[in-house]
Chains A and B, each alone.
Chain A
């Protein structure tokens, strides 16, 4: 069985990995998503390796990177904006150089991981939501800021197996500067918006959980929200056939936000005692799910938290975020990354590598974790892949050791 050559491209610009991007849409630059438009507009041509800002051959740049790594006592592999194959290569490089390995989204990833490692959770995936969810509660997020096409692809679809998609109840609970228009149903029904600032979500979500668990709540209001409103919400969740509680870890960026996430996931656990509900963590970008997953199966543990101050060299990979760089003052920095990288401070070494899904093929995890999709080169280029460059670095490190 061969995969047909005319298959659509999967877009790695966010964690949703929409795989309905035709070659024609890319050629005409016609997208319903700004993130996709930006991604496929990127230009890889003309990039060349650099040493301290000066053009260099690949061989010399690799040698310079090796020299930096050999001098470092505690290097860090960071950024890690890549796909599964890139993640495998970076894990090897980290092992060989004794580096810690983190990701540019580590703080939001680890916020979720703290909850998983403390209590676990009960979650679902996009196709289940598309076909089952009759109530979708979004907590502290509008989702679309991160996953532009969430409503188009998952919620307001033409067909669903077990529910009437147009009749879904959409509820926003808290959050800052939400775009709630995508939550309006195709027939013009407005979503319910229960407003509070994100910083008040800890007490609001804790109250919701208590109400779902039938605990007595004596206050009349919490963070300006009437408890009766939350009680109605709790009853709506209990009555749902398949309630889906959505959060985006990046949008819960206050201290100890993991406790809010745990209150969301434990609300789901409480609901599942009698009815059906599931959690859904969305957002995701820069291959964060792929990198954390591959790191876990290769090393047995999740990615590390970044501790910039304790490292004396950084390998930085920014394939999906050409503008992203490590914090100022970190260094020396070896960038193995986007050919269209933008540097505020000149890195010690820059080796442009192929971006999976744009310049080369690859494989990427979707944000819901169970689905992995092949990435195909939308505009094939002859840039080396991250794996190839890491292999060159490894070979020289090993050669020098031998």
Chain B
């Protein structure tokens, strides 16, 4: 059956279309060229010039896995009983959450209602990947995928400290992608999570790890080179050293140079853009960071915008979260060392607009957004739930698109913070085309989803239809229609059909001989068999709802 979206006003940066009115034809979940007149059209939606974009892709959102579930357990006070309507009530119990700790059903439903059709879990501990996939498998409506964490695992640190050749490292990285069913590689506080286990409390970029005698810079070099040489699309996803520390912008600038010009993605860069100026020794270094992004074309970044209110921070960075636990609100937190593989820290936070640091964090994120020239290299994230729940994206989009709205919000901030920000001097207002770039075309390109994030012939028919409104928050909060793989799943902001999406992976070729050493390591030091560490396609597909979509690389 063919579905026709008639008179669509298409905003599709990947295909350089900015408001072109055209018809879109869908068959078997894909966008097709205009069919012959003889072919039967099953369903017609006359859009009368409504805005049409590809489904949005969240390239960094903590939607599943150990620390997310710990956050749910830790914070029963976020849960509320809700009266749900079909079809959501069909698969979701009465407990639906405050959106900082959504259950898996809630996650999928709230994303699709905003026109998002995919989200990527950016911090999958390799040893915890099975759990992450189980949770993502129970997340309806959207496609999923993840980045596996390396760079604090003892196997890798041993390789590096023993001067293993780059090929061995490449094979291990590729093996990890296969074993964990992920599509990218992340490094969190390079070396720092491991160093914390040796009672170190800070790990600087050029400081030797106390046990392995290698630097984070060396870890970044090896991993970014591996990711590049095995040929996956997604550049190394880097959570820099010194998250949240005043003055950390210098670490961030130095990190940009650590890959020797190879592509590198710096994540939640807002948390890494702090200076030490002013009476409070905490200032915005957004201008320095944005300038560096603008001039270093190999660098991409997502922002990790904070928004005011209660949330919870869930990070692999247990070293820095252990420090942050002192300011937890409510006053409780979980810090874990995990399996000689990584760690995690879950710390609830309440960001307040009258708090100097929080107010400035808010401004810093927006300064970065508005000062980076190229929307293909800066991504719209709140680092859900760390800066704010993903449900606040429509609000964030309005802050970017509406200067008056932004400045009104700025005027309400802590006065000392206002004095330390140049936000009001930034006149830029994002266009719909730029928003579509940073939420659709650019994340698809970055992750290597060739058939997503655009509306060209052959693309998956993940499509969102909006009514253009002056109030962009209202516009992006409630699309008119959302199609997932060609099926109409949301109407007037409400889910009308439950679908389950798929899991996207990258499985580059590698020398399977690398397994011999890995198996020896498991047998000698681990508490599980190497074979049980590996996740098969069948495990992803079990319970019948999920399946793997592997993306050819290179």
Contact = CB atoms under 8 A, between A and B. Distances in A.
Contacts of B543: 85, 88, 387
A371 B135 contact: no
Contacts of A160: 525
Contact of B93 (A95, A125, A371): A95
B528 A373 contact: yes
Interface in A207-245: 241-242
Interface stretch (B271-279, B329-337, B373-381): B329-337
Contacts of B75: 117
Interface string B127-138: 110110011001
B525 A300 contact: no
Contacts of A185: none
B338 interface: yes
A153 B527 contact: yes
Given A7-B529, A300-B102, A371 B72 contact: no
Interface in A139-171: 153-154, 158-162
Nearest to B507: A1
Contacts of B338: 124-125, 128, 370
B334 A296 contact: no
A124 B529 contact: no
B199 interface: yes
Interface residues of A, number: 64
A242 B334 contact: no
* Residue from A85, A116, A371 whose CB has the most chain B CB atoms within 10 Å: A371
A128 B536 contact: no
Contact of A161 (B178, B322, B525): B525
B106 A371 contact: no
B528 A19 contact: yes
A60 interface: no
Contacts of B179: 1
B103 interface: yes
B539 to A, nearest CB: 7
B542 interface: yes
Interface string A90-128: 011011000000000000000001001111111111111
Contact of A128 (B79, B138, B340): B340
A298 B130 contact: no
A242 B198 CA distance: 8
Interface string A370-388: 1111100000000000010
B69 A131 contact: no
Contact of A162 (B64, B101, B211): B211
Nearest to A130: B527
B103 A19 contact: no
B163 to A, nearest CB: 18
Contacts of B66: 369-370
B35 interface: no
Nearest to A96: B90
Interface residues of B, number: 66
A272 B322 contact: yes
B134 A372 contact: yes
Given A4-B531, A127-B527, A370-B125, A299 B76 contact: no
Interface string B195-237: 0011100000000000100000000000000000000000000
B336 A299 contact: no
Contacts of A7: 529, 531-532
B69 A293 contact: yes
Given A3-B534, A299-B95, A116 B73 contact: yes
Interface in B81-109: 91-93, 95-97, 101-106
B104 A370 contact: no
Contacts of A278: 336-337
Contacts of B101: 300
Nearest to A268: B335
B524 interface: yes
B154 A124 contact: no
B243 to A, nearest CB: 18
A335 to B, nearest CB: 23
B529 A374 contact: no
B74 interface: yes
A302 to B, nearest CB: 6
A131 B525 contact: yes
Given A84-B134, A120-B334, A370-B125, A296 B72 contact: yes
Contacts of B211: 162
B138 A88 contact: yes
A1 B178 contact: yes
A297 B103 contact: yes
A376 B106 CA distance: 32
B128 A371 contact: yes
Contacts of B199: 241, 275-276
B346 interface: yes
Rank and list the top 6 A-B pairs by shortest CB-CB distance, nearest first.
A300-B103, A120-B332, A7-B531, A372-B130, A127-B339, A300-B97
7 contacts: A159-B524, A278-B336, A300-B96, A300-B101, A302-B73, A363-B134, A374-B532
Given A125-B337, A130-B526, 14 more contacts: A8-B531, A120-B334, A122-B334, A122-B335, A124-B338, A126-B339, A128-B337, A130-B525, A130-B527, A131-B525, A161-B154, A241-B199, A298-B93, A370-B127
